[in-house]
Amino acid sequence: MPAYTCPLVALAVAHCGLELRLCDLAPGSIDFDAGELARVCDRDVLAIVPTHLAGRIADIDTALAIARRVGAFVIEDAAQALGARRDGRPVGFEGDAGFFSLAVGKGLTTYEGGLLVARDPELRREFARTSREIVPRRIGWELKRSLQLLGYHAFYRPSLLGLAYGAPLRRALRRGDPVAAVGDDFSLPIPLHTLGRWRQSVGARAFARLPEFLDACAAQAQRRRAQLARIAGIDVVDDPSGAQGVWPFLLLRLPDEATRDAILRKLWGAGLGVSRLFIHALPDYGYLQDVVGEQDAPNARVFAATTLTISNSPWLLDEEFEAIRAALESVLARRVP
């Protein structure tokens, strides 16, 4: 796995009784460092998990070439990239399997849950058989998730998000807990239960509206990306040639951690949708020490320390985005060349 990604994926590996082996990122990139990936992959590796982080499209070809050499699977982590494409093909289908998240905060959600996909019919049959074998139907959990989904629907509007999301975030920031502020504080065990029919139907109905929503988000993101690109010192992470990612938010790289933190002091918690993605590289989460151990990942650490996100919600008005842009420009203008 890449050394900078969602901690929940690392916990899922541990949940399956497998040993996690990390690979550092390429400098300034969401992709694996190709040389290190070739070095750390041997015949003991079961699967390589390239990650389409923040809706951007990852390099799958390198992972596939190395996986075929050592006899490993390639599992695409497309949790944040439902609807993304590369050369016209949907992500998640170039490797042996792919998964998408339908958890809270995604463009399409069943509150918790997700999608597991594979091109090979036999592999799909194996996934379905395994699911029937190990994933129980738990009425209590399904009732809880259904009520949470209803509550999410009730509060997911501009007038109430500040109460449901903003208040806990600001409390976490006041006590100096950025991990809790972004929701990185996961724990084992991961509760397994079958997604009920009602939540499946909610997701299916929303799926029909997804392409139009993604097109509108992409158009807005490109307009705002062009505005940000005019500010010296900002790099908006984009897709490689031929790829069309999705834009849940804009992922920005800043020149250094001090500059990034100066911007966050102005904007994080201000109700403008400015935040961080994952707080640390995986080896730096205290609660992951038994899962990850001590592993060196200098590029992943730099990426974690120099990035921030800006919401691409249709609810973020142009005048609010202008306030964000002005704050970015103000901080970066004071940097010493």
Question: 207: phi > 0 → left, psi -120 to 50 → alpha, else beta; which?
Answer: alpha
Q: What secondary structure does DSSP assign to 169-212, as a single string?
A: HHHHHHTT-HHHHHT----SSPPP-PPPHHHHHHHHHHHHHHHH
Query: What does the pLDDT look like over 13-46, one tens digit per residue?
Result: 999 999 999 999 999 999 999 999 999 999 999 9
CB 314 within 8 A of CB 284: no
Query: What does the pLDDT look like over 78-129, one tens digit per residue?
Result: 999 999 999 999 999 999 999 999 998 888 999 999 999 999 999 999 999 9
Q: Residue 211 contacts by C-beta under 8 Å, 6 or more apart in sequence?
A: 83
| Distance between first and last Cα of the chain | 36
CB 91 within 8 A of CB 78: yes
Query: What does the pLDDT look like over 249-271, one tens digit per residue?
Result: 999 999 999 999 999 999 999 99
What is the total residue count of the chain? 337
Alpha-helical (H) ranges within 55-119 are 60-70
pTM for the whole thing?
A: 0.94
Q: Tell me, what's the pLDDT at 337? A: 58
Pick one of 2.120.10.30, 2.30.110.10, 3.40.640.10, 3.40.1190.20 as the CATH number of 7-333: 3.40.640.10
Query: How many Å apart are CA 327 and CA 262, to the nearest integer?
Result: 10
